Amino acid sequence: MNATINAPVYADVPRPRFTPGPAGTHITIRGLTKYFAGWPLYENFDLDIPKAKIVSVFGPNGCGKSTLINMIAGLVPIDQGEILFDGKQLSDTKIGYVFQNYREALFPWMRTIDNIAYPLLLEGKNKAEVDRRMEELVASFDVKFDLRRYPYELSGGQQQTASIMRALASRPEVLFLDEPFSALDFEMTLFIREKLQEVFMQTGTTMLLVSHDLEEAVYLADEILLLTKRPTKVAEILHYEDPRPRTVDTLSQPSFVAAKKRSLEIFQREVRR
């Protein structure tokens, strides 16, 4: 008899058919499953992320906000599921990523200007193209510091500005931001927040922002994605539609106050559950 011992057993479970999101969807997540150390963080998680909108991700501590954007950005592998960008795979999609820890994000051995230009060189752009794009970025970020300096010679805010410029250099379709302000002082936070809003208004780049600051999350967002505790589900998606540019005055508008209050109520409900 010719038997195979311990042969793998494949369950004959048919895969559900992929259902596209509604019109205007950019990123479609279907059946996303992720376990850490045998415990589910996400199980069969579905989400549609709209195109040309800013989506703020908010939820209880440890619910998987960073892991979610890292899985979408391909930095953390998924166990199961499918993530498509306008129907395409990640490998066919240009993305940019801004890390919380800007000190470790920039290459210390490269001048700041070379850090920012790096993605353009990787794409094979020639010197004239790189110079043109760099000029645009410098103008749009109103850069006042010397980009020929090394990152360690710059302030934290200047380094984070450079990280964002690098993330935008090759005109990504999606920009991921994981708590981009949390290591910055108040003045730099306001500056970079306004710059992001300006870039968004100019380019309409889809942005996914993880923030621990509810006011900031609502202020920048078109949608606030509120998550539950793990195993993580969508608690609610709130739409916040005040016109841009949003300013200091926005913060006292009834619509802003109502969106913030509603987000906080959902957050508290989920934390207590």
Interface with ligand ATP, residue 77, by CB under 6 A: no
Tokens representing residue 37 in the block? 């150390």
Residue 18 or 35 with smaller CB distance to ligand ATP? 35
Q: Pick the binder of ligand ATP from 2, 6, 61, 91 (CB under 6 A).
A: 61
CB 225 within 8 A of CB 57: yes
Q: Given the DSSP bridges, would you call strands 39-50 and 25-36 parallel, antiparallel or unpaired?
A: antiparallel
Q: Pick the binder of ligand ATP from 37, 128, 139, 248 (CB under 6 A).
A: 37
Interface with ligand ATP, residue 96, by CB under 6 A: no
Residue nearest to ligand ATP according to CB distances in the complex: 67
Q: How far is the CB of 66 from ligand ATP (least distance, A)?
A: 3
Residues 119-148 that bind ligand ATP (CB under 6 A): none
**Cα radius of gyration rounded to whole Å, the chain:** 21
CB atoms near residue 264 (< 10 Å)? 14
Q: Pick the binder of ligand ATP from 67, 115, 159, 228 (CB under 6 A).
A: 67
Place of tokens 């415990």: 39
Residue 60 or 96 with smaller CB distance to ligand ATP? 60
Interface with ligand ATP, residue 30, by CB under 6 A: no
* Sole window of 36-44, 88-96, 162-170, 258-266 interacting with ligand ATP (rule: CB under 6 A): 36-44
Residues 201-220 that bind ligand ATP (CB under 6 A): none
Q: How far is the CB of 271 from ligand ATP (least distance, A)?
A: 11
Interface with ligand ATP, residue 166, by CB under 6 A: no
Task: Please report how the helices 156-169 and 112-122 are oriented relative to each other, as an axis angle in degrees rounded to 10.
Answer: 20
Q: How far is the CB of 210 from ligand ATP (least distance, A)?
A: 6
Residue 57 or 175 with smaller CB distance to ligand ATP? 57
Interface with ligand ATP, residue 66, by CB under 6 A: yes
Q: Which amino acid is at 181?
A: F
* Sole window of 4-12, 59-67, 102-110, 194-202 interacting with ligand ATP (rule: CB under 6 A): 59-67
Question: Which positions touch ligand ATP (CB under 6 A)?
Answer: 36-37, 41, 61-67
